[in-house]
Every structure is written in C-alpha cells, then in structure tokens.
C-alpha cells in the first residue's frame, strides 16, 4: 500500500506530545491524522499509540477519553511507542509520585512492566543503546545489526515469549536484558523513541508503515 492511499492515525491520548512522531511520519511522505474519534481510529490502516508521563496518568487519560475498549477493537497494525508500548502490557508498577499499587494496563500482550533493576547504572535509562532484533522480523528490515536507538525510561517489560500472548521481538541490555520491541498479533511496541533515533528509527517507522 502506497503512502498516498494509506490512512495513518496517531491516537490522541491527551498525554503525549505527538508532534515529533507526526513529523517523522510526514517526512516519509505520509499524511497523518491525530484523532480519538472511533470512526477515524477504526478506519485507519496503521495506528500509533505514543505515550509520555506515567502509566497511571496515561491509563486514566485513556479511560476518560473512552479509548480503552477502542484500542482493544483495533484489528490493523498498531505501534505503541515508549510508554505507549508499556500500556499494551498486563500491568505496570509505575504509579507516579504517590501510588503504591500496580496499574492495570490494556492487557494486549502477556507481560508486566516493572521497575528496571540496573545495579550501579543510573535510572532513567537515558540515551543511545543497541538492540538485538529477531532475525528477519519485518519491523527491523534493512536496519543493520548493532544499530543504536534512543531510550528514556525507568520501567520495562522482561524478555518473554508466550503463545497467544505475544513475544519479545527485540531486546536490549541495561543492567539486565529487557524487551526493546514486542509483538502480539497486530499490536507492536517499541520501548525506544524511533522518532528520535535518526536513520535507524526512521527506517523502523517506514517498515511499520509498509507492513
């Protein structure tokens, strides 16, 4: 499907600065709509779920905007970015400043999101790091092994592989291994920021749009 006849939608979660993701997509020649309208979202060919802030705040925003069930109804490829990827998981330990309980997330892939155990290394995990991708996965097509991507996070999914509940398609090491990219059916997620990851990140967004 070419750029000209593909409907690309960034889901308007109300808590994400979508401009950098939008510009990264537009640079590849695609028109982009930012929307939370169910008709627009469900008619899209490709969707992006960006996220910034905390999981508790983001899930609250999704609930207030009636987006939880809507995201679960999507049957086209959807890419969660950073916190957007974490929201695809079962639950998150990230409560923000005051919380002590875990946050229920969308439950679209079968892994929890936990605070990273990094030993002597500082949190957040911030800056450039390499990922090890599943061989021949279309999301990482034409991206050289050892490519660097840009990360900013303190919570992560463990590396996992569950029939019917998704799997890690790329891992990264920071203190210990964690999931850098995930797939569960038509839902994909990347822990890094492809829109800030230079040439490799642009190639990944292009791959997703061409899948």
Question: Does 193 qualify as catalytic in the annotation?
Answer: yes
* Active-site residue (options: 15, 82, 105, 172): 82
Residues facing 151 on adjacent strands:
127
Q: What is the DSSP string of 72-128?
A: HH--S-EEEEEHHHHTTSSEES--TTT--SPEE---SSS--BEE---TTS-SSEEEE
Question: Does 82 qualify as catalytic in the annotation?
Answer: yes
117 vs 102: CA distance, rounded Å = 17
Beta strands in the chain (DSSP E): 8-11, 32-35, 46-51, 78-82, 91-92, 103-104, 114-115, 125-133, 148-153, 155-156, 161-162, 166-174, 176-184, 187-190
Active site residues: 82, 193, 195
């Amino acid at each position: 499907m070419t750029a000209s006849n593909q409907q690309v939608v960034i889901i308007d979660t109300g808590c994400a600065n979508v401009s950098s993701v939008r510009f990264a997509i537009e640079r590849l020649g695609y028109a982009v709509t930012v929307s939370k309208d169910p008709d627009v979202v469900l008619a899209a060919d490709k969707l992006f779920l960006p996220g910034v802030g905390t999981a508790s705040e983001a899930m609250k925003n999704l609930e207030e905007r009636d987006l939880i069930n809507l995201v679960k109804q999507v049957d086209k490829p959807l890419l969660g970015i950073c916190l957007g990827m974490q929201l695809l998981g079962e639950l998150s330990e990230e409560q923000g400043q005051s919380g002590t309980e875990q946050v229920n997330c969308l439950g679209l892939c079968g892994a929890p999101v936990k605070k990273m155990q990094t030993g002597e290394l500082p949190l957040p995990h911030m800056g450039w790091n390499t990922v090890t991708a599943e061989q021949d996965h279309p999301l990482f097509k034409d991206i050289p092994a050892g490519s660097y991507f840009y990360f900013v996070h303190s919570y992560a999914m463990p590396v996992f592989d569950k029939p019917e509940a998704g799997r890690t398609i790329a891992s990264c090491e920071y203190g210990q291994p964690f999931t850098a990219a995930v797939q569960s059916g038509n839902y994909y997620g990347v822990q890094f920021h492809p829109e800030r990851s230079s040439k490799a990140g642009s190639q990944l967004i292009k791959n997703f749009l061409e899948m």
